[in-house]
Amino acid sequence: MSYGRRAVGPQRYREDIGRVYEEFEVGDVYEHWPGRTITESDNTWFTLLTMNTHPLHFDKEYAAKTEFGRPLVNSALTLSMVIGMSVSDVSQKAIANLHMTDIRLLAPVFVGDTIYAESEVLSKRESKSRPNQGIVTVRTVGKKADGTVFLTLERSALLPKRGHAVGD
C-alpha cells in the first residue's frame, strides 16, 4: 500500500493513501502489500454471490473428477483481488477506472494459495478534456508465494493532479 502521512496540525497526522498524477513515473514498479490467502469460503461465497453456477468452484466431488482434481479458485475472484491489492498504489485517488484489457490466466489457483501483486507503470498522459486530470496505464501481475505468475492484466485509470483530489 502506498501510505503517506500528512501533518495537519501540531502532533496530528492524517493517513494519505495513493498517488496523484504527477507521482507516476513510467517504468516504476510498485510491490503491493499485504497479500492474501484464499479460503474455501472466499471461493464459494464469491462464486455464488456473483451468480456463477460452475460447480468446479464449490463442489469438491465434481472437482475431484476434473483434470485439476480439486476446486479451482474462480478467476474473477483472483482478478478482483489482484486489482484490489493494486488500488492503494495505483488508483486510490482515481476519479474512475476506464479500461481493463489483456487479462491472461496463466496458472490455476487453488484454495489455500497465498497471492501477491505488483504493478509497473506503462504510460501516462494528460487528459485532453479535463485539465486537472491525467490517464495512467499499468500492467499488474498476480503471483503466488512460490513466485508462480498466475495472472497478468493491463488497466487504465483517470487520476487527479496534485491539489485536485477529493480531500485536497
Question: Which residues inside 56-115 make contact with its own copies, applying CB under 8 A?
Answer: 62, 65-67, 72, 75-77, 79-81, 83-85, 87-88, 91-92, 94-105, 108
The grid coordinates of residue 112 equal 489455500
CB of 161 to its own copies, least distance (A): 15
Which CB atom, from 88 or from 137, has the smaller least distance to its own copies?
A: 88
Distance between CA atoms of 168 and 166, rounded to whole angstroms? Answer: 6
**Torsions phi, psi of 73, nearest 5?**
-75, 135
The answer to whether 17 contacts its own copies (rule: CB under 8 A) is yes
- CA angle centred on 140, ends 150 and 164, rounded to 5°: 155
Question: Which residues inside 140-159 make contact with its own copies, applying CB under 8 A?
Answer: none
Q: Is the dihedral of CA 43, 49, 52, 58 positive or negative?
A: positive
Count of residues that interact with its own copies, criterion CB under 8 A: 46
The answer to whether the CB of 41 falls within 8 A of the CB of 73 is no
The answer to whether 50 contacts its own copies (rule: CB under 8 A) is yes
Distance between CA atoms of 117 and 71, rounded to whole angstroms? Answer: 22
Residues near its own copies (CB under 8 A)? 1, 17, 34, 36, 42, 46-47, 49-54, 62, 65-67, 72, 75-77, 79-81, 83-85, 87-88, 91-92, 94-105, 108, 166-167
